[in-house]
Structure 1
Amino acid sequence: MNAPLASHLLPQFEQRTAPPAMLEALKARFGDRCSLALAVREQHGRDESPFDVSPPDAVVYAESNEDVAFVVKLADTHAVPVIPFGVGSSLEGHLLAVQGGVSIDLSRMNKVLSVDAEDLTVTVQAGVTRMQLNNEIRHTGLFFPIDPGADATLGGMSATRASGTNAVRYGTMRENVLGLTVVTANGDIVPTGTRAKKSSAGYDLTRLLVGSEGTLGVMTEITLRLYPQPEAISAAVCSFPTLEAAVRTTIQIIQMGVPIARCELLDANAVRAVNRHDKLTLREGPMLLMEFHGTEAGVKEQAELVQEIARELGGEDFQWATTPEERTRLWTARHHAYFAALQMKPGCRAVTTDTCVPISRLAECLLETIDEADAAGLAYFVVGHVGDGNFHVGYLIDPAKPEERELAESLNLKLVSRAIRLEGTCTGEHGIGLHKMGFLLDEAGPGAVAMMRSIKHALDPKNIMNPGKIFAL
């Protein structure tokens, strides 16, 4: 099992600083939309990962496909890296300029380009966030369900193949991206995919690019699948005497084929943090947060069946959130769990895991992980999209104490080893980035990683597209 990369053990990447001629060309083209200010570069040189890396050499605020193409062509000429930037919510170091280069900020490319309600599709620029999209299409009776928690850009979500709380019913970005416009490593603007429901035309470039983490091209436009807003929605919380009871309830729900829309787990530590952060009064024990979508009759039937399953395993009666305001407050609190937990240990940073296993192995994987964390004595919290078999342990570390970082990484190493042994993955939704490059080799094997490297080299021979992520060349 390959160890992950601790921040103080990052390899010495070759630095490819943007030369003065390139910076002058960027300033001439973009004026104030090209910043060399240290504060701006530092903002674009960090994310929610625990890594500390020097910032990019420049930041360009793109407003069109042509802007992005200009930057990439210039970078190709000078063999300088380019790193796409959305809102900076990555947890794995995806947007860090490990070799220097130019950060392309896509946040101003934030237009909904077309809504095709009759076909249940929408095309957006990469800087549109998921909340913005849903606000702009609310009048159509449709919605986009993928909800990773953070109000991330749809470009960033596509690049990392994100999923989140609704994936148990609606799938991940892999299933919901129909087509892309991407700027390739030589600056060409290339469309992939169509709005048709299916296609057998050549290589599936859309699926290749979704999840490529900016290493094969810069996504500038995305065509997405939409869904009708459910006739009825009900949300509920249910507390359990033990974490095992909550997990086994989840397993039975999924194995019985209940079409639950969301099934989220919080351990007692996470519930305690959420209560303090959002001023709630949830029972501070293991808890499932659930949501049901469908017709009035369908939602009632789903809820009754799940309640019966939960009671058999010691779950308390459901506490219902029936109004939109109550549901919003509940799910907002769930989405705040990460930042709420950070406040439980002031000044800390989180080493966050992202394993996913087959649903039948979830209890084994999660319970062994918690036993190890308890024995280690390091502060932690657990949240998870357990309906998918995906859960996150956040180990809270003092950045001034290297021994805590080492302990967190050793626990993560044991967890990933266990997940792979149980035929799972080191990352269900966050991606590889910097942190999991060693784990990718363990999971996929040297032959598969060699194939990935061959694709990378063929599409990006100068290695300028977000280099140093997924694997080192």
Structure 2
Amino acid sequence: MVQATDLPRNEIGITAALGVLKQQFGEKFQTGNSIREQHGHTTTWLKNQIPDAVIFPQNTGEVAEIVKVCATHKVPVIGYGTGTSLEGHVNAPAGGICVDMTEMNEILAVHSEDLDCVVQPGVTREQLNVYLRDQGLFFPIDPGANASLGGMAATRASGTNAVRYGTMKDNVLALEVVTPQGEVIRTASRAKKSSAGYDLTGLMVGSEGTLGLITEITLKLQGIPEAMSSARVSFDSIGAACEAVMMTIQCGIPVARIELLDTLSVQAVNAYSNLTLPEAPLLLLEFHGSENSVAEQAELFGGIAEEFGGTGFEWTTSAEDRNKLWQARHDAYWASCALRPDAKGISTDVCVPISRLAECVNAAQERLDALGFIAPIVGHVGDGNFHTLPLIDMDNPEEVAKADEFVGWLNDLAISMGGTCTGEHGIGQGKRPYLVKELGGAVDMMVAIKSAVDPDNIMNPGKIIPED
């Protein structure tokens, strides 16, 4: 199993920093064991490595003060959003201070004419979209969980809408960042494009808190579509479903979402949500546009699905019926976990070129069956990204070892196909061993950037950069 390795602690520095920060922040400074454990991690199989304290700042100035104190005493700083990351991103392997951004949750400005907004990092995706609804706008990136936008930027999150709207890297215009020295910088303006210098915004998006703490985000927005249609169709095989997806993309149909559930996932949601879906690989789709265009897009896809043996095709523009269609996807995680209630679901993801998707998913299924795992598969297949969820008895060392072997094998397979070991979960601690396999000498440049920006390695140490 990939280990969350403990790093050397700076005991003298940590003690000194705790004393200063307790005096400065009063009740915003917490050292209770339960709250520290909560801010280690909640959603990964890596061991919990807790910080020495948790602080709840309310503005950029307070974040800068925290970082300055930690920089003075060379104490680790770990940013925290809502704790939904999956690869040990918020663990504290060398101890230190967790900076919880949940109280920095103001929507600072909405520029509806420019289709952008400015938010603090603790604002969640759902909070922003509720706020924007009356203005006919929405933010399209949907990772599933109600994650904070600061955390989504830090991990370069993605989700079900990525096939049409892109990922966080495509939707962040600018950032305000507190550097490892406690300085406050802005990475760009609100302009939709710029050729001014290095792309610091792109560098910070996906840096997982290793280069600084994000304290303000300028985001692109979209107009709420005039109409939406949703569709579903079943196939005899994963291969046929993926072939239909490839043809849909190649034909230029501007689909907003294409989600795949394998047979086991469909069986799980039928049992969990009292649905009656055919127990076969299932595609769920959503189309955005005018009333005429979404109808046309759904019908065009229906023809493609039929060509590849799709059955039970149906589509609707009714909001109530659309929600019912998508219930299967929204319930997939909890439904899958219910297949083995006493086990832990180990969610891992890879992404491959869409032409290799069917091959990769089929190989993953065969490997999981050979290992004897109950492991549903779902995927954002419009961009070649899929997730497996082996259900593991964490008290069984043999099962844990086999699960770790499978995750490593899947990462290697995806990389060998010209893909990536993670489409949207990030590297964190869990996937550090695979970064060099995927990017080779480019990791040396990452090391050089990290060393130059954060020479004392206080910003989320032990993440992204491989141990050796």
TM-score category (smaller protein): over 0.9
CA positional deviation for 1:251:
1.3
Q: 1:27 aligns with which of 10, 22, 28?
A: 22
Structure 1 residue aligned with 2:119: 124
1:229 corresponds to 2:224 = yes
Going from structure 1 to structure 2, the CA distance change for 1:134 and 1:332 (only over 3 Å counts) comes to: farther
| CA offsets 1:363-397 (integer angstroms, 9 cap, x no match) | 11111121111222111010100000111111111
Indicate whether 1:52 and 2:47 are aligned.
yes
* Residue in structure 1 matching 2:176, options 167, 181, 195: 181
Structure 1 residue 135: Cα displacement? 0.4
CA shift, 1:410, in A, is 1.5
Q: In the alignment, which residue of structure 2 is the partner of 1:316?
A: 311
Matched, 1:269 2:264: yes
Query: Is the Cα contact below 8 Å between 2:5 and 2:93 reproduced in 1?
Result: no
**Residue type matched to 1:352 in 2?**
S
- The answer to whether the 8 A contact 1:265-1:287 is kept is yes
1:3 corresponds to: none
Identity of aligned residues (%): 53
**Aligned residues of 2:261 and 2:378 also touching (Cα < 8 A):** yes
Residue identity matched to 1:460:
D
The TM-score, its normalising length taken from structure 1, stands at 0.95
Counterpart CA distance in 1 for 2:185 and 2:68 is 14
Shift of 1:22: 1.8
On the 8 A contact 2:4/2:47 being kept in 1, the answer is no
**Which of 443, 449, 453 in structure 2 is aligned with 1:455?**
449
Unaligned runs of 5+ in 1: 1-5
Quote the residue 1:402 is aligned against: 397
The within-5 A match list for 1:366-381 is: 366-381=361-376
**Aligned partner of residue 291 in structure 1, secondary structure:** strand
What does 1:394-473 align with in structure 2 at a 5 Å threshold? 394-445=389-440, 447-472=441-466
Asked whether 1:218 is paired with 2:213, we answer: yes
Count residues with an aligned counterpart: 466
Which of 282, 285, 288 does residue 290 from structure 1 map onto? 285
Query: In structure 2, which of residues 56, 60, 66 is the aligned counterpart of residue 65 of structure 1?
Result: 60
8 Å contact kept, 1:36–1:58: yes
SS in 2 for 1:13: coil
For 1:179-218, list aligned pairs within 5 A. 179-218=174-213
Tell me the CA shift for residue 336 of structure 1: 3.3
Report whether the alignment pairs 1:281 with 2:280: no
- The answer as to 2:98 corresponding to 1:98 is no
Q: Can you list the C-alpha shifts for 1:405-460, whole angstroms capped at 9, x where unaligned?
A: 21112222222222111111111111101111111110000x21111000001110
Deviates more, 1:239-248 or 1:158-167: 239-248
Q: Report if aligned partners of 1:150, 1:335 keep a CA contact under 8 Å in 2.
A: no
Cα distance, 1:30 vs. partner? Answer: 1.6
Native 8 Å contact 2:16 2:73 kept in 1: no
Name the CA distance, whole Å, in 1 between partners of 2:73 and 2:330. Answer: 42
- 2:299 maps to a residue whose letter is E
CA distance in 2, matches of 1:244, 1:300: 26
**Cα distance in 2, alignment partners of residues 229 and 138 from structure 1:** 8
Report how far residue 335 of structure 1 moved: 3.2
Give the alignment's Cα RMSD to 1 decimal: 1.5
DSSP 3-state at the match of 2:158:
coil
Give the 3-state SS of the residue equivalent to 2:201 in structure 1: helix
Aligned-partner SS, 1:113? strand
- Distance in structure 1 (CA, Å) of the matches to 2:56 and 2:327: 30
* CA deviation string 1:248-307 (max 9, x = no partner): 111111121111000000112222222333333322321011001111121111111110
Compare 10-19 and 54-63 and name the one that shifted more. Answer: 10-19
Secondary structure, counterpart of 1:19 in structure 2? helix
Deviation, structure 1 residue 139: 1.0
1:179-208 alpha-carbon deviations (Å, 9 max, x no partner): 000110011111111111100001110000
Per the alignment, residue 338 of structure 1 pairs with 333
Q: Residues 378-389 of structure 1 correspond to what in structure 2 (within 5 A)?
A: 378-389=373-384
Judge which range, 207-216 or 16-25, deviates more.
16-25
CA distance in 2, matches of 1:321, 1:62: 46
Q: Is the 8 A contact 2:229 2:317 kept in 1?
A: yes
